[in-house]
Structure 1
Amino acid sequence: MAKHRFTAAPKIQIARALLGATIAASALGAHTMTASADTATGVAAATAARHPDSAIAAHEAGAKGGNAAETKVNVTADQVLAFAKAQVGTSENAAGGGTKFQQWYAGSQRAAETVARDGGSRTAYLNAAWCSMFVSWVGEQTGARPQVGWDAYTVAHAKWFKANHRFGALAKPGAVVFFSWSGGKDLSDIQHVGFVVKDNQDGTISTVEGNTGNGKVEERVRPKSQVVGYGYPQYA
């Protein structure tokens, strides 16, 4: 069964309050991983813990200064969607892990920052809910990560778009779509995330998502009533 929302044990109460949701404890057995080098400039762990949303925005801006909205990328929405669709069929193992998305995230600089923010350990990501990791991985592999963002926690990922004034209610191809199965519209209600392929103009959207169905990357059709909102990367 696919797990739609990554959770981790917070180290400090203020991080929980700022995220607007209780993060459940996650305990995993011993796992091994290959830590991949990640050249992105990270913010200090202490800053990330104190101010998760501003720290995420600062991290995405990188050493050049400015905010993420000013960081341009050379990839188009069509290219990102084509790459995401090429992953369709990729599946987790019986333990809910084993995907390249989880392995990449666990070895990334971002994992160190989210561990500082949420608690737990890098190895926790190896079997954690990976819908947001999938979106982040696609951004990384296509060169669009400064605009797509990266996080394992769907609520924090949405708050990053909101903090950068790139969050709204209009479905656009390539947008990052955030879902609440109950139909809630608060960011804290978010349970799942994917990419918008198109607005079907009939009250539904076509999407490509990770960690859906039985823990796979799939193309889906979703009712707009389940959408909390959309994050808008500024593609080429």
Structure 2
Amino acid sequence: MSPRHAKPRFTLNRKTLAGVIAGTATAGAAAITVASAGPALSAQIPGATHQAAHHVAQIPNPGMGRAIQTNALRDDPRVKTRALAAPQKQVQKRLPSATDVLKLAVSQVGTTENAAGGSKFNQWFMGTPYAARGVAENGGSVGDYANASWCDMFVSWVGDQLGVKGMGADAFTPAHAKWFISQGRWGNAPKPGAVVFFSWNGGGVDGIDHVGLVIKDNHDGTIQTVEGNTDDAVKIRTRSTSSVVGYGYPEYAQ
């Protein structure tokens, strides 16, 4: 267990933190089917590089000339029966895959916290609506997040950077796990890209101490993970499944 996890998470109390938002990073919470991260992901890990969100170029709207002509035709009584151009389809940005998420997470390996115990993930979280709404509902201040334990802020950051649906976002691990449960995105299978919740001393969901992302199931009673705030840094770990409370499943591309 990271020394940071032995400390209080915030100056706020646990009851206060339970109100921190467990809303989605960028989208709603529809039922999902989780896809695997694809073949031989672990072989890609040592040389993994940062992969930004996949942006699909938007097809521009028809040129002004066509728009003006269409309007003119609509108003011309001689061509009232002429079919107008069909509405243009919207181009949808594809969902990130579990592989996308793990590549980004692994690209952060080696990131450490500052001398005060915070990190770039704390700074990011403080500027999000999740922090602001938690303070509005439960008191305290956004500054309380500055040097708090940041394992869940790391997971939330990864989901937010790639626009992952159904990832949720929180700074308090039990609240995040309960959100996955409430959305029907909870289970016991260590699928690649799943959000894994740990309790070092038991206690079920309310006893959750730590969170990370599953890289792979080792099929020997352990899983490989990438985690924030483990020994005060982002690291790849091998964890016993005996410490796992459960897994949250974001919505990934098929």
TM-score after normalising by structure 1: 0.73
Residue 69 in structure 1 maps to residue 30 in structure 2: yes
Q: Deviations over 1:176-213 (max 9, x none)?
A: 000001133x2101010000000000000000000002
Q: Alignment partner for residue 247 of structure 2, among 208, 230, 234? A: 230
Partner residue in 2 for 1:100: 120
**Equivalent-residue separation in structure 2 for 1:162 and 1:7 (angstroms):** 24
Partner residue in 2 for 1:9: 12
Partner residue in 2 for 1:27: none
Alignment-mate amino acid for residue 103 of structure 2: A
Q: Deviations over 1:49-90 (max 9, x none)?
A: 9xx59x745x6686xxxx512599610000000000000000
**Equivalent-residue separation in structure 1 for 2:234 and 2:222 (angstroms):** 19
Alignment-mate amino acid for residue 202 of structure 2: G
Alignment-mate amino acid for residue 183 of structure 2: N
Native 8 Å contact 1:183 1:227 kept in 2: no
Residue 110 in structure 1 maps to residue 130 in structure 2: yes
Q: Deviations over 1:113-168 (max 9, x none)?
A: 12234432111111110000000000011111x32110011011111100101111
Native 8 Å contact 1:106 1:126 kept in 2: yes
Identity of aligned residues (%): 53
Alignment-mate amino acid for residue 94 of structure 1: A
Alignment-mate amino acid for residue 29 of structure 2: A
Native 8 Å contact 2:180 2:186 kept in 1: yes
Q: 1:136 to 1:102 in 2, by over 3 A?
A: same
Q: 1:209 to 1:61 in 2, by over 3 A?
A: closer
**Equivalent-residue separation in structure 1 for 2:11 and 2:176 (angstroms):** 15
Aligned residues: 190
Q: 1:219 to 1:118 in 2, by over 3 A?
A: farther
Alignment-mate amino acid for residue 183 of structure 1: G
**Equivalent-residue separation in structure 1 for 2:97 and 2:30 (angstroms):** 15
Structure showing greater Rg: 2
Q: 1:22: how far off?
A: 4.6
Q: Which stretches in structure 2 are left out of the alignment for 5+ residues?
A: 33-92
Q: Which stretches in structure 1 are left out of the alignment for 5+ residues?
A: 11-20, 25-48
Q: Alignment partner for residue 171 of structure 1, among 182, 187, 190? A: 190
* Highest RCO, 1 vs 2 (Cα 8 Å, sep ≥ 6): 2
Q: 1:7: how far off?
A: 3.9
**Equivalent-residue separation in structure 2 for 1:61 and 1:229 (angstroms):** 23
Partner residue in 1 for 2:219: 201
**Equivalent-residue separation in structure 1 for 2:137 and 2:196 (angstroms):** 23
Alignment-mate amino acid for residue 9 of structure 1: L
Q: 1:23 to 1:222 in 2, by over 3 A?
A: farther
**Equivalent-residue separation in structure 1 for 2:11 and 2:29 (angstroms):** 26
RMSD: 2.5
Q: 1:103: how far off?
A: 0.4
